[in-house]
Copies of this chain bind each other. A is one copy, B any other.
Amino acid sequence: MPVARGALRPLGVDQVRLDPAGLLGHLRARNATATLWHCADHLESHGNLDNLRAAAGEPDTEFAGMWFADSDVYKTLEAAAWELASAPDDAELRTLVKDVVALLARAQRPDGYLNSYFTVVEPEARWRKPDWSHELYCAGHLFQAAVAAGRTGAAPELVDIARRFADLLATRFGQVEEIDGHPEVETALVELYRLTGHRPYLELARRLLDLRGRGLLGQGRFGSAYYQDHVPPRAAREVAGHSVRQLYLLAGMVDVAVETDDAELFAAAERLWDDAFGTRVYITGAHGSRHRDEAYGDPYELPADRAYAETCASIASFQWNWRMLLATGGVRYADEMERVLCNAIAAAVSADGRHFFYSDPLHLRANHHSGGEEDAARRSSWFRCACCPPNIARLMASLPAYVATADDSGLQIHLYGQAQVTATVAGAPVRVEMTTVYPWDGRVELTIIDGPATPWTLALRIPGWCEAYTLTGTTTGTVNGGPAEAADGYVRLTGAWAPGARIVLDLAMPVRRMTAHPRVDAVRGCVALARGPLVYCLEQADLEPGALLDDVRLDPAATIEAGAHADLPDIPVVLTLSGSLADGGPSLYRTQATERPATPITLTAIPYFLWGNRTEGPMRVWIPVAPEPRTT
């Protein structure tokens, strides 16, 4: 397929205004008021900014934290830049951006090099430890911050800083056969190319991709797949190794493929998509099954309890799917964006926006033994390796950008939420108002505020989870006289819309009992509950005293009520259903199937993304179904 330039055009982050009343808008607004500033504060208190001050030669500062701590600064800066598009009058935020950019300018070496660790701690090791250094990884995050600052006009001088460094990279890495152990710079270089039109950045991105898979980084402790150096990306047939690295690499592969019209490379990305989403993704959209090497494991190896499911991998998956969507217009990519955003990513942040999960497991047992920050029973305010919180900040701040796209025919709505979308279609301004409480309800009302006089097409995504929907129009003729059929996952409504035209899409949202492929050994005999895009879970906090979640069984024939719950006023839709408490007996292994009386109980399921905001305790997405299968 021809992939050049992509099928759809992104809108600017300032072209969609999310209303805080909706879920998407709530996520963005909470990020702006809580998470972003929380990150900024921690960059100061944890030494990330002091590291850069030390690199700038400023006295009384020394290096602290991880050697790639600069990347947290860049991600926060990127978040601030995106956020300024939604809040251009936020003087405090503008000052933050200005100050950090000025600090970066001071920390940058005369030759363009910018990395506090390799300036302050190990200057002699610059470029010498590619398997480990994260130098290009940090550079990539700088470039992405610069792209945000450039696109939103938040800090044009950051683009200059980034370009000086990128020019140094283009010179050096255009000549040597070296790559970085942590992919990220590839997608960032393409974005910088898109911003500047400077082709050497794109060429370097392609070169860095093509140098992978030659074993340049050695085997390390976990094998070359950990570094994404086990196979040339265009020849890869399976996702493998460190999941964040794999997913950032995939974003870069799509970017390079699209900008260089490289069908072979794009086909590889599609192949890996089929593999990942067919055999190795959690029902929450999270990726990565192994703690040991933060890796994808075997196909169908998807433990709920030991899901690594790193928040950064979820964000990277969102970014990869966004690029696939732009390239192809395929609805499955928008489906995965929605799934991972509403479940794994949203779950990573506490209700107060100031606590985070590094990993987003689907099951927490009673008496959980934590082996570290990536294995916590509660969200933490910060991490030794603090990659996730500022990554959340930059994604949430850029959320408006993913709601809709445009093409020559019109406007496409991919993510539903209370919002106003503006775009240019056929040279004329288009403005659409979306009114909805989605995902709590499937009804989405769209009002055309403005548009060209000539016919144009409004495409509305019918999510993969949706088996029935209705479409009605209040303005004669706009909906072709009745429910429209979706083609390839989108209902396309074409008309010369009059201002005030109104379309109502109603997506049916029955509760779905989901099962996994039988090769997913970890959840055999279990069911997950979902409604619309939201995966639900059970939490210990909703059980009667004395009942332990570890013993809960679902009644497969039970009726499930979806609606408000008196005890949970902050959650618009909870699920109520009947189940039982099993008595497992004393022995760990036995020769007889246990047939003990089960106690009937009433269960309450809440959206997975809201778990862990009350008392610490067990949680599970996959619920065993009673009775246990006969085994003897």
- Chain A interface (Cβ < 8 Å from any Cβ of B): 221-223, 225-226, 238, 240, 277-279, 281, 283, 290-293, 295-301, 303-306, 363, 365-372, 375, 512-528, 550-551, 556, 582, 584-594, 624-625, 627-632
Closest to A591 in B: B512
A593: chain B residues at CB < 8 Å are: 515
Docked Cα-Cα span, A120 to B615, in Å, equals: 53
A591: chain B residues at CB < 8 Å are: 512-515
Additional A-B contact list (12), CB under 8 Å, known A240-B369, A515-B631? A223-B371, A298-B368, A299-B366, A300-B550, A305-B521, A363-B521, A513-B632, A515-B594, A517-B589, A518-B594, A518-B624, A519-B584
Docked Cα-Cα span, A527 to B631, in Å, equals: 6
B301→A306 contact, CB < 8 A: yes
Knowing A589-B514, A632-B513 touch, does A365 contact B223 (C-beta < 8 A)? no
> Can you give 17 contacting A-B residue pairs, CB < 8 Å?
A223-B372, A281-B588, A292-B292, A292-B371, A292-B375, A293-B371, A298-B366, A299-B365, A300-B365, A515-B589, A516-B588, A518-B582, A518-B584, A522-B522, A524-B628, A525-B525, A625-B631
B367→A588 contact, CB < 8 A: no
| Cβ-defined partner of A298 (8 Å) among B222, B298, B305 | B305
Among A306, A526, A587, chain B packs the most CB atoms within 10 A around the CB of: A306
Closest to A582 in B: B518
User: What is the predominant secondary structure among interface residues of chain A facing chain B?
Assistant: loop
A303→B300 contact, CB < 8 A: no
Docked Cα-Cα span, A516 to B521, in Å, equals: 14
A630: chain B residues at CB < 8 Å are: 556, 625
* Minimal beta-carbon separation of A596 from chain B (angstroms): 10
A365: chain B residues at CB < 8 Å are: 298-301
Among A226, A367, A513, A629, chain B packs the most CB atoms within 10 A around the CB of: A629
Knowing A303-B306, A524-B525 touch, does A223 contact B370 (C-beta < 8 A)? yes
Number of copies: 2
Docked Cα-Cα span, A295 to B291, in Å, equals: 12
* Minimal beta-carbon separation of A134 from chain B (angstroms): 18
B588→A520 contact, CB < 8 A: yes
A521: chain B residues at CB < 8 Å are: 304-305, 363, 522-523, 526, 624
Among A516, A521, A524, chain B packs the most CB atoms within 10 A around the CB of: A521
Docked Cα-Cα span, A619 to B304, in Å, equals: 22
| Cβ-defined partner of A225 (8 Å) among B369, B550, B589, B624 | B369
Among A238, A518, A526, A550, chain B packs the most CB atoms within 10 A around the CB of: A518
Knowing A306-B306, A525-B525 touch, does A372 contact B514 (C-beta < 8 A)? no
* Minimal beta-carbon separation of A606 from chain B (angstroms): 20
A295: chain B residues at CB < 8 Å are: 369, 371
Docked Cα-Cα span, A589 to B223, in Å, equals: 30
A518: chain B residues at CB < 8 Å are: 551, 582, 584, 594, 624, 628
Docked Cα-Cα span, A625 to B525, in Å, equals: 11
Knowing A514-B590, A628-B524 touch, does A290 contact B306 (C-beta < 8 A)? yes
Closest to A516 in B: B589
A519→B625 contact, CB < 8 A: no
Docked Cα-Cα span, A548 to B240, in Å, equals: 22
Docked Cα-Cα span, A586 to B519, in Å, equals: 11
B587→A517 contact, CB < 8 A: yes
Knowing A519-B550, A524-B524 touch, does A629 contact B629 (C-beta < 8 A)? yes
Docked Cα-Cα span, A225 to B369, in Å, equals: 10
A523: chain B residues at CB < 8 Å are: 521
A628→B525 contact, CB < 8 A: yes
A589→B305 contact, CB < 8 A: no
| Cβ-defined partner of A305 (8 Å) among B301, B525, B587, B594 | B301
A516: chain B residues at CB < 8 Å are: 588-590
Knowing A299-B367, A367-B298, A368-B298 touch, does A556 contact B631 (C-beta < 8 A)? yes
